[in-house]
Amino acid sequence: MSRFTSFGNDLYTGARSFDFVGKRRIWYSVAAVLVIIAVGLTALRGGFVFGIEFRGGSEFRVSQVAEASADTAATTDTATAAVGEVVAGSNPRVSVVGGDSVRVQTEQLTPEETAEVSASLAEAFAVDGDQISTSFIGATWGGDITRQAIIALMVFLLLASLVMALYFRTWKMALAAMVALVHDLVITAGVYGVLGFEITPAAVIGFLTILGYSLYDTVVVFDKVRENTGEDGVESRRSFAGSVNLAVNQTLVRSINTSIVAILPVASILIIGAALLGAGTLFDIALALFVGTIVGTYSSIFLAAPLYVHLRENEPEVQKQGGRAKRSAPESGAVR
């Protein structure tokens, strides 16, 4: 613990430093590769798999199926065959929920088909008819949900941009933060697309939550950037890039600690709640939070701050400050 504390103190004072800004092309390349993989593989798989809440359809839930979690493959085959007896060519989505319940989602069925599928499932799983519940979600309602989710995302990004620009008094910080946010969203959503997980309203909530976390982490870094650059006067021996890099190093330990504290309970929900208990909703939101927290921490440190320097490096005042820093470097002996 004392070594970690000493390490954090060295980063804060500048005695030890990682060159995040100077190696920004590497971080840009990593981010670009991740985005290309997320978008490319999702496209190759045919796009995202949306939950019934978005696409509409019929849902059946068979409760108290003792062997459901013991043999998931057999349970899936049984449910698929039962639906196929009524609706030929149907490709239902079957999942085990809560350990002893089977959820079956199909395309929109008529009332007659719904009754026949319920009876077929009851016979296949040897349960009473009252152990099967049915629900129906229309395509229009699903379209409304999709539209509202997109509107919520756009409003969030717009308001976040305005707040960042007003708070830091520069649109370039806001732009760097928004690029980092979009990067986080694309990669997190890409995990769902690449692995074929359904995007449900719970997952959308997770997406919006991690955007808020990423923005918070970026604001912490940018606050320190503003403090450091505000202290740079005409006698400063630091370049603008050096001041920004120092700020990233000074907030590095805090970002890591915050991320670990956030990831641990989310990982517990993901592993215990979703994997062991079979709670689908917990899995949807926990996966988004888990991936998004990791990606958000990366973007705040390796993407947002270096990009801000990139946006300002051609400004006359920044170039003048960089020239003063180069001239004073040999005298100070501070080159590392």
Average pLDDT over residues 127-155: 78
Look at residue 106 and tell me whether its pLDDT is greater than 80: yes
pLDDT band at 235 (very low <50, low <70, confident <90, very high): low
Angle at CA 299, nearest 5°, toward 6 and 172?
110
Percent of the chain with pLDDT over 70: 82
If you compute the radius of gyration of the chain from its CA atoms, what whole number of angstroms results?
A: 26
User: pLDDT tens digits, residue range 11-62?
Assistant: 766 667 788 888 999 999 999 999 999 999 999 988 888 877 777 788 888 8
Are 25 and 301 in contact by the 8 Å Cβ rule? The answer is no
pLDDT band at 331 (very low <50, low <70, confident <90, very high): very low
Average pLDDT over residues 222-250: 80
Average pLDDT over residues 315-325: 71
User: pLDDT tens digits, residue range 294-316?
Assistant: 998 899 889 999 999 989 888 88
For the chain, list the domains and their CATH numbers: 8-49+141-332 (1.20.1640.10), 57-137 (3.30.70.270)
Range of lowest pLDDT (2-6, 45-49, 214-218, 285-289): 2-6
Q: Residue ranges of the alpha helices (H) in the chain?
A: 2-13, 24-44, 52-55, 72-86, 111-125, 139-168, 171-195, 201-231, 240-268, 280-298, 305-312, 316-332
As a whole number of angstroms, the distance between CA 175 and CA 310 comes to 11
How many CB atoms are located within 10 Å of the residue 150 CB?
11
Its sign, for the CA torsion 41, 262, 2, 14, is positive
pTM, to two decimals: 0.77
The pLDDT score that the predictor gives to residue 196 is 84
What's the DSSP call for residue 287?
H
